[in-house]
């Protein structure tokens, strides 16, 4: 595809200056609800159309790949019926090349009598965002002078405001029984922690979901053992506001000392003084350790140094040494550590102070000084007695934590009153109403079955889950879709495929979008996708990213290899992660076991820092994975049309336990061009159950035997 035009340097500097001026420090300014998109899907009419393929309805369908266009004459108009009078605040026009030089935005309550809310004789085309005021049911764009020889043409005509009609959903409220809040004076904290752990320790596919929240203060003598679907967090603005003189522990006693199934749990925003000087966090996928301050060391291996399969640290400070020991792979981002020991296959660091020097493949360290783009995960905190969600600002070329050093964190605060607090039993219709009404979403711990897609179409919407809140599409719909808008934040939840095949489980942006979101990208953080395991589940694709500039920061997209509803065709899912947008960045990308390609990257200028993959265990034979003349589907495929792409620290492993004779052509597939570059690649045959013939394309030595020794490439091409 052709390169996407980027903003000029002057525009970028101006945007950066505006962003800096708009940064809200905690308590400085009360955040306001964003306007609500009222026009999408509403009836639209026009003075004329160029042809049957460009109707008025195409300008209000939410798809930037369809458009309305008029006949080649002046004047022309397009109007939308909002269905009821609304208090209007903004109109966004996404012009095609054939735009208006002179036009008016007009309002009407009856569709007959019109007043002018905006007019210009110097229209520039492109995307125009117009602030307007007024109450109207009908809104129209009335063009009086074309800028080209063609007609008038709009990809999208969007009207924002509030309706003020129908029942209004309340914001805020209590967080439900599975959010357990402690303060230093709470009696029986250890007993409550132990009670939940006993229930959740081995409940890998259970329905229990829990969130522990610790108010600022000091807590003594605790050992918070963290089981499945359990999250522990501090409620301060800084991790150091909430100190546990004790431990937050994950071990693998439930699984005979094997930590490779310690999934779906998290620790965030706490300071720890470990009892013996070192905290233990022996996890594998989907177990983030974020915004933590360990005043000592951190041990990533289970007791006895059994197997462990990789994890993720971000925005954390570990004063002592991180003991990697048996961890096969790990990613650490924008943190500070006192040192790092050992490494099995693939240890990746970006923006981490104290990280070991680049050394791949021996030692297996991939080290980047900075992270090109990062924005930390939103989190719940207490401002006095009021709950708020802090939304950190975007950082470029970040290094070290976003907190500490005596400076206030950069970002904005949103009071809980501007969130719809979603509780089990809430319908998708109610959730969508909340977003349309202008509320953000806070999912409390639980399992949510939805019969229609959750639509996040409002710029800047925060969707935050507590306690690994889980969304299940029941009837083959896509669980959640994000519109072609700026600044959406998705964080902290799990999407579990339902028994009826979904075309996808999460979509970021509509197909064919051309909008630049570089100034305020959508971020997807600790959002996990699962197909099977908890029961029958099917989906064609796990996650699809269409919006340009999206940042996917830590995800595990998993077609289950164990649990219920598992089999080559039973939990069929051909593709894990598909990127169609340009300038998408993935930091901490875990994708495993899909029937065909685990990752398909079609967009330009994509970047991945750390990738962990296992091919599907359960392929019945060589024929089942044959990809035309190629033996097997690559774990990570960059489309032949791509000119620029880059990846650092990527690994793919095979364990074909049904048919160990299967041969996999390669782990990675990409066009050979100067702009397509990979650093520090490896493939591994686990115990000789299947073999790779190459690392990438036809390059790299084959794996062989049963010794589980990686085949590596330091640089490609």
Nearest 10 degrees: Cα torsion 323, 328, 334, 339: 20
- The Cα–Cα gap between 398 and 702 comes to 37
Q: Which residues of 28-51 are buried (b: 16+ CB within 10 A; e: fewer)?
A: eeebebbbbbbbbebebbbbbbbe
CA-based nearest residue to 687, from 368, 399, 307, 154: 307
- The Cα–Cα gap between 265 and 284 comes to 10
Q: Which residues are known to be catalytic?
A: 614
Name residue, tokens 């947008």. Answer: 581
- Return the structure tokens found at 82: 């909002």
Q: What's the Rg (C-alpha) of the chain?
A: 26
Q: What 3-state DSSP class applies to 241?
A: helix
Decide: 440 and 462 in contact? Cβ < 8 Å: yes
CA-based nearest residue to 479, from 492, 462, 496: 496
Q: Which residues of 653-670 are buried (b: 16+ CB within 10 A; e: fewer)?
A: bbbbebbeebebbbbbbb
CA-based nearest residue to 120, from 91, 100, 98: 100
Q: Which residues contact 628 (CB under 8 A, 6 or more apart)?
A: none
- The Cα–Cα gap between 22 and 344 comes to 45
Kind and range of the H or E run holding 411: strand 411-415
Q: What 3-state DSSP class applies to 60?
A: helix
CA-based nearest residue to 136, from 89, 196, 97: 89
Q: Which residues contact 530 (CB under 8 A, 6 or more apart)?
A: 494, 495, 496, 497, 537, 558, 560
Decide: 144 and 106 in contact? Cβ < 8 Å: no
Q: Which residues contact 203 (CB under 8 A, 6 or more apart)?
A: 227, 228, 229
Give how far the C-alpha of residue 288 lies from the chain's centroid of Cα atoms, to the nearest Å: 13
Q: Which residues contact 112 (CB under 8 A, 6 or more apart)?
A: none
The single-letter DSSP state of residue 11 is H
């Amino acid at each position: 595809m052709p390169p996407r035009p980027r903003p000029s340097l002057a525009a970028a500097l101006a945007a950066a200056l505006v962003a800096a001026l708009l940064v809200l420090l905690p308590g400085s300014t009360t955040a306001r609800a964003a306007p609500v998109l009222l026009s999408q899907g509403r009836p639209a009419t026009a003075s004329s159309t160029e042809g049957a393929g460009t109707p008025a309805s195409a300008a209000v369908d939410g798809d930037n790949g369809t458009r309305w266009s008029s006949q080649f004459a002046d004047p022309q108009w397009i109007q939308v019926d909002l269905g009821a009078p609304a208090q209007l605040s903004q109109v966004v026009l996404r012009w095609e090349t054939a735009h208006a030089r002179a036009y008016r935005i007009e309002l009407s309550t009856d569709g007959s009598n019109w007043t002018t809310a905006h007019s210009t004789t110097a229209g520039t085309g492109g995307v125009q965002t117009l602030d307007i005021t007024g109450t109207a049911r009908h809104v129209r764009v009335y063009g009086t002078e074309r800028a080209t020889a063609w007609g008038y043409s709009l990809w999208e005509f969007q009207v924002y405001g509030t309706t003020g009609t129908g029942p209004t959903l309340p914001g805020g409220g209590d967080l439900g029984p599975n959010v357990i809040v402690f303060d230093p004076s709470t009696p029986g904290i250890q007993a409550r922690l132990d009670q939940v752990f006993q229930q959740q320790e081995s409940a890998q596919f259970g329905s229990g979901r829990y969130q522990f929240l610790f108010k600022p203060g000091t807590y003594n003598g605790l050992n918070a053992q963290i089981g499945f679907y359990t999250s522990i967090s501090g409620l301060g603005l800084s991790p150091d506001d909430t100190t546990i003189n004790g431990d937050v522990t994950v071990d693998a006693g439930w699984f005979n000392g094997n930590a490779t199934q310690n999934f779906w749990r998290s620790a965030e925003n706490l300071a720890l003084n470990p009892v013996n000087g070192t905290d233990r966090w022996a996890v594998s996928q989907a177990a983030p350790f974020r915004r933590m301050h360990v005043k000592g060391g951190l041990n990533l291996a289970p007791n006895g140094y059994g197997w462990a399969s990789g994890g993720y640290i971000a925005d954390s400070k570990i004063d002592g040494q991180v003991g990697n020991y048996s961890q096969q792979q790990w990613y650490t981002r924008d943190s500070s550590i006192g040192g790092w020991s050992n490494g099995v296959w693939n240890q990746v660091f970006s923006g981490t102070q104290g990280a070991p020097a680049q050394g791949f493949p021996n030692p297996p360290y991939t080290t980047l000084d900075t992270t090109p783009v990062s924005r930390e995960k939103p989190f719940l905190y207490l401002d006095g007695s009021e709950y708020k969600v802090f939304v950190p600002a975007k950082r470029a070329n970040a290094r070290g934590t976003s907190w500490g050093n005596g400076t206030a964190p950069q970002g904005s605060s949103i009071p809980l009153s501007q969130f719809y607090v979603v509780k089990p039993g809430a319908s998708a219709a109610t959730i969508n109403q909340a977003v349309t009404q202008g509320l953000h979403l806070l999912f409390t711990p639980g399992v949510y079955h939805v019969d229609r897609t959750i639509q996040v179409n409002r710029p800047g919407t925060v969707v935050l889950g507590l306690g690994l809140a889980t969304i299940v599409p029941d009837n083959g719909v896509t669980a959640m879709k994000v519109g072609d808008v700026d600044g959406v934040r998705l964080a902290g939840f799990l999407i579990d495929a339902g028994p009826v095949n979904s075309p996808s489980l999460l979509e970021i942006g509509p197909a064919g979008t051309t909008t630049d979101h570089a100034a305020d990208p959508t971020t997807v953080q600790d959002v996990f996708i699962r197909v099977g395991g908890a029961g029958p589940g099917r989906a064609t694709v796990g996650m699809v990213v269409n919006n340009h500039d999206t940042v996917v920061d830590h995800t595990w997209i998993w077609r289950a290899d164990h649990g219920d509803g598992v089999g080559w065709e039973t939990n069929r899912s051909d593709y894990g992660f598909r990127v169609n947008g340009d300038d998408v960045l993935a930091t901490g990308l875990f994708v495993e076991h899909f029937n065909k390609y685990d990752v398909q990257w079609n967009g330009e200028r994509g970047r991945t820092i750390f990738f962990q993959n296992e091919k599907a265990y359960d392929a019945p034979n060589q024929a089942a994975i044959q990809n035309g003349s190629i033996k097997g589907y690559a774990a990570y495929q960059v489309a032949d049309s791509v000119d620029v792409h880059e990846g650092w620290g990527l690994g793919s492993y095979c364990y074909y336990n049904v048919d160990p004779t299967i041969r996999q052509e390669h782990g990675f597939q990409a066009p050979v061009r100067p702009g397509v570059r990979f650093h520090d690649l490896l493939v591994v045959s686990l115990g000789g159950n299947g073999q790779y013939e190459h690392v990438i394309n036809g390059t790299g030595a084959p794996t062989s035997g049963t010794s589980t020794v990686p085949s590596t490439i330091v640089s490609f091409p």
